[in-house]
Amino acid sequence: MDAKRVGLEGVSHYGKAALVTLAFEPRFTIALVDFSGAGGARLYRRNFGEAVKNLTGKGEYHWKAGNFLKYGTAESSFGSRNANDPRVDAHELITLCAPRPMFISYGIPEKADTLWLDRRGCFMAAVAAQPVYRLLGAKDLGVPDDYRNVTSPAVEVGLLDGQVAWRQHDGGHEGQSNMAHFITRAKRML
C-alpha cells in the first residue's frame, strides 16, 4: 500500500465523517463525500431540506456538539437563533480539505428521502469553496463563484476535472453510482 495515496468514502452520516476526516487528517489524500447533507457539504444558511431546526429539535438524536443546539432555539436566555446565525458554514469545511481532491456526490430525490435532501445546497457549498482551491493553486469546478445564483449541472453530468468535483447520479441514497467516476478520477489525480 502506498501511504501517500489513501482515500476515503462515505454516504450520509459517513459522508459527513469522510468530509471531516479529510479536513482534519492530512494523511488522507482524497475523498468521495456522498449525500452528506446538513453537517456535511450542505450549507446551513440555505434552510431547506434537513433543516437546522430538525437537527436540534426536541426528541432528536443529537450527534452534533452541544453548542450547535442553540441554532434551533426560538427562545432562550441568549435570544433566538436560527440557520442564518452560525459563524461558519459547510463551504468552509470543504475549504479545509483544499488543495486535496474532494468529490461531492448526490443522487436524485425521487429515489431517496425527498424531504431531507438538498443537492442544490451541497452544490452551492462546493461553488463557494472554489476561491480557496484556486488560492492554493488547485483547479476548481469551473463555474462562476456566485454560489447563490449558480445553476447545478444536469443529472449524470459531472464537473470532475478540478480538485473539487461534483456529480449528481440518477440513483438514490447511496454512493455506488459514482464510485467508478471517483476511482477514475483518483487514479488520474494521485
Tell me: do 164 and 184 sit in the same domain. yes
Judgement on whether residues 168 and 147 belong to the same structural domain of the protein: yes
Range of the domain at 115: 7-43+89-189
Instruction: Tell whether 2 is covered by a domain.
Output: no
How many domains does the chain contain in total? Answer: 2
Q: What is the pLDDT of residue 61?
A: 61
> Is the domain of 62 the same as that of 16?
no
How much is the pLDDT for 59? 67
pTM for this entry = 0.89
pLDDT at 69: 75
104 lies in some domain: yes
Residue 115 lies in a domain: yes
Indicate whether 81 and 137 sit together in one domain: no
pLDDT of 115 reads 63
Task: Classify residue 1: in a domain, yes or no.
Answer: no
CB atoms within 10 A of CB 84: 12
Q: What is the rounded CA–CA span in Å between residue 38 and residue 26?
A: 23
At residue 55, the pLDDT reads: 72
22 shares its domain with 101: yes
Query: Do residues 158 and 185 share a domain?
Result: yes
Residues 6+ apart with CB under 8 A from 101: 29, 30, 31, 163, 164, 165, 185, 186, 189, 190
Three cell numbers, residue 177: 453510482
Tens digits of pLDDT across the chain (190 residues): 888 899 999 998 899 999 999 999 999 999 999 988 878 898 888 877 777 767 777 766 666 777 777 777 766 677 777 777 778 889 999 999 999 999 999 988 788 766 677 889 999 999 999 999 999 999 999 999 999 999 999 999 999 999 999 999 999 888 899 999 999 999 999 8
User: 77 and 107 share a domain?
Assistant: no
